[in-house]
Amino acid sequence: MLLELAIGDAYGAGFEYADIGMIRQHNNLTRYVQHPRHNIRPGAYTDDTQMTLAIAEAMVSNISWEPLALAQKFVEVFKRDPRPGYATGFYHFLQQVRDGEQFLKEIKPVSDKSGAAMRAAPLGIYPSIDQVIERCTFQATLTHNTPGGINAAVAASLMTHYFLYDLGPKQNLGAFLEKHVPGRWSSPWRGSVKSQGWMSVQAAITALTRSASMSNLLKACIQFSGDVDTVATIALAAGSCSHEIAQDLPPHLLNTLENGPYGRDYLRQLDARLLSLLETYKSGYN
């Protein structure tokens, strides 16, 4: 899950808000492209993956699910490995806060953008829909305490849950989400994806519904244009959990994904820990 979502994020980062001509020319999975304006190295992931690491590490380390511990995680994963790709305001906020306590004191969690949704995928590992919703809502409120920000996050976490626990065919994903989270999740997304959280989630669901393989899924996410690193992060996380989607991401995208202290090898180890957490829950679940 983490490896795939990081590949989606890093690949999408080269195309974020790029013009459609550039996308048509280069969206062929041959390599990570250099973004025409941003200073992000090809193959480097962005805020989507880094914040997902905070959630995943909190889950596997079994810290108490309370605001201070989670805020501390957000600060810790950023400060140990700062990187471009964050929204400017949040980047500066993370730079200037010392710790989780100051984070909680000074954050203004009024955004309905995609920040809480882009990091929500691992939460689908929890064994019941209610628990996924509860834990995801909780993490979302720390930074995105708005109906739009929370609903997008809950939908993103239930997407992985739906596939991990085999709750139905992927064609029914949107209808399933509509039963549990306010939003028009089964309506197809069209056109460029803007920054509100529900938009990235709806685009990701649309791409999942239309794709039978991870390669096609990744290309479909980028083709929308707009905030496509987030669309690809959410979609590839869910796609990696689906039996109906061929796991065919090109090996060169895996091999050229960043591999610093928190890169490919680290993601792979953390993925293994998430998988064993899933197995623990599944053995109790059946």
Binding stretches for Mg ion (CB under 5 A): 46-48, 85, 229
Separation of alpha carbons 223 and 122, rounded Å:
25
The nearer residue to Mg ion, 170 or 230, going by C-beta atoms, is 230
The nearer residue to Mg ion, 112 or 229, going by C-beta atoms, is 229
Q: How far is the CB of 250 from Mg ion (least distance, A)?
A: 21
Q: Residues 6 or more apart from 150 whose CB is under 8 A from it?
A: 116, 137, 140, 141, 144
The nearer residue to Mg ion, 46 or 52, going by C-beta atoms, is 46
The nearer residue to Mg ion, 4 or 48, going by C-beta atoms, is 48
Q: How far is the CB of 47 from Mg ion (least distance, A)?
A: 5
CA 36 to chain centre: 23
What does the block give as tokens for 250? 């090109």
Q: How far is the CB of 98 from Mg ion (least distance, A)?
A: 24
The nearer residue to Mg ion, 164 or 203, going by C-beta atoms, is 203
Q: How far is the CB of 51 from Mg ion (least distance, A)?
A: 9
Q: How far is the CB of 228 from Mg ion (least distance, A)?
A: 9
Query: Which among 213, 57, 78, 55 has a CA at the least distance from the CA of 136?
Result: 55
Separation of alpha carbons 261 and 213, rounded Å:
30
Q: How far is the CB of 242 from Mg ion (least distance, A)?
A: 23
The nearer residue to Mg ion, 48 or 271, going by C-beta atoms, is 48
The nearer residue to Mg ion, 40 or 59, going by C-beta atoms, is 40
Q: How far is the CB of 246 from Mg ion (least distance, A)?
A: 26
Measured at CB, which residue is nearest to Mg ion? 46
